[in-house]
């Protein structure tokens, strides 16, 4: 069952979230070479080569539960990736994102996530968004908290990545919480 539009394109003030293209493979692989990024991308298989990323982009097109979007500047340079896994029967999506390190600290992750959150609650009418981060990823935790997501759980040794187990923190945001936050902002 297709629950969302694979060819979605979202525009924010400074960014465009669009479907991944084969032409993005090299720059995304280059970004993932930074261990601060690659080590947090546990759902991607190593090595992070251009060929591997091109194969990933092709496979992603066929997966109807998982959406990967390039985070691009207005000049269409891919600076990172935003992804969402949809649990259609529950009206839930789990989101994730990463940016090339030279784009950190500019508010891009928050802007991209906020654009997607607005879309899934206003247009798709989802009931809940979830996100999972490693405890060591304080920057991502800060982004999620800034967006109104709250910590719902802490799981020990929950992810096996690069030969070892890692704890994770689970965050969530209900549609009712989102609506309440946005009604307060409008006042």
Residue 49, exposed/middle/buried by CB under 10 A (0-12, 13-18, 19+)? middle
Give all domains of the chain, ordered by start, each with its CATH number. 10-186 (3.40.630.30)
Residue range 43-63, pLDDT digits in tens? 666 677 889 888 888 888 888
CA angle 181-19-76, nearest 5°?
A: 90
Residue 173 has what pLDDT? 98
Locus of tokens 């629950």: 3
What single DSSP character describes residue 70?
A: E
Residue range 76-102, pLDDT digits in tens? 989 999 999 999 899 999 999 999 999
* pTM metric for this prediction: 0.88
**Confidence check: pLDDT of 1 > 60:** no
């Amino acid at each position: 069952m297709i629950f969302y539009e694979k060819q979605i394109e979202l525009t924010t003030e400074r960014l465009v979230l669009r479907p991944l293209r084969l032409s993005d493979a090299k720059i995304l692989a280059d970004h993932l070479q930074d261990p601060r990024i690659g080590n947090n991308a546990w759902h991607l298989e190593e090595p992070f080569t251009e060929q591997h990323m091109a194969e990933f982009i092709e496979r992603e097109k066929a997966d109807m539960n998982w959406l990967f979007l390039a985070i691009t500047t207005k000049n269409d340079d891919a600076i990172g990736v935003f992804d969402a896994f949809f649990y259609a029967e529950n009206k839930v999506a789990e989101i994730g994102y990463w940016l090339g390190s030279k784009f950190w600290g500019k508010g891009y992750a928050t802007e991209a996530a906020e654009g997607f959150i607005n879309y899934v609650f206003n247009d798709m009418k989802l009931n809940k968004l979830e996100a999972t981060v490693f405890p060591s990823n304080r920057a991502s935790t800060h982004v999620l908290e800034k967006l109104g997501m709250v910590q719902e759980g802490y799981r020990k040794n929950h992810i096996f990545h690069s030969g070892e187990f890692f704890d994770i923190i689970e965050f969530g945001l209900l549609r009712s919480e989102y609506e309440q936050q946005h009604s307060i902002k409008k006042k």
